[in-house]
Amino acid sequence: MGTRVGLFPLVMMLTLTAGCRDASGDAVSADNAVAPPPVVSFNAIEGESIEVVAARQRPSPEVTVRAQPAPMNSLDLPPSPDAVQPLPFPQEVTSFMVDRDGCDHFRGEEPYDSERRVFLIENIAELCTGTDAKLAMLRRRYAGDAAVIAALHGYEDHIEARPQ
């Protein structure tokens, strides 16, 4: 029993390495064109030999790689050479949208304890103060630019608390 256990790894290693062939480009392309020779097997049930014919190997498909242009206005890639304008809106509109999105993020958060409530109040005060007036000013300034007006359309007009 001990001999069988000791021979098992050796037999497995020989079995695995016996099936390996040269992987160089010449050997692979030459082997792909030739059908493997038939193998003779022994039928254990009827006691006669059977010729086993392996399926003919098909040649490997050829793969070609073509460069594609970079996507337009991707934030993690440099601008593509065919990009007309790197930013879709003027800088002040883009800056407002970033600030207001941050403001809206914190406005939607839930103050589940006193520490979180203080954190949210501080961030809302920092990011939301003055955005109502800035939104009105941007809508007046870019009234002729349909793309800017469409982008600003989704923002609420009055989010700041009014003094009483």
pLDDT digits (tens, 9 = 90+) for 80-116: 665 555 557 788 888 888 888 888 888 888 888 999 8
Tokens 């392309």: give the residue.
29
7-55 confidence digits (pLDDT tens): 666 666 666 665 555 555 555 555 455 566 665 555 556 666 666 666 7
Alpha carbons 100 and 93: distance in angstroms, whole number:
10
Tell me the pTM. Answer: 0.45
Q: What are phi and psi of 52, to 5 degrees?
A: -100, 120
Mean pLDDT of all residues belonging to the chain: 73
* Stronger pLDDT, 80 or 135, i.e. the higher one: 135
Alpha carbons 81 and 75: distance in angstroms, whole number:
15
Alpha carbons 159 and 156: distance in angstroms, whole number:
7
58-72 confidence digits (pLDDT tens): 777 777 777 666 555
Closest CA relative to residue 131, chosen from 157, 162, 105: 157
Residue 15: predicted pLDDT? 65
The radius of gyration of the chain's CA atoms, rounded to the nearest angstrom, is 36
The answer to whether the beta carbons of residues 69 and 61 sit under 8 Å apart is: no
Residue 12: predicted pLDDT? 66
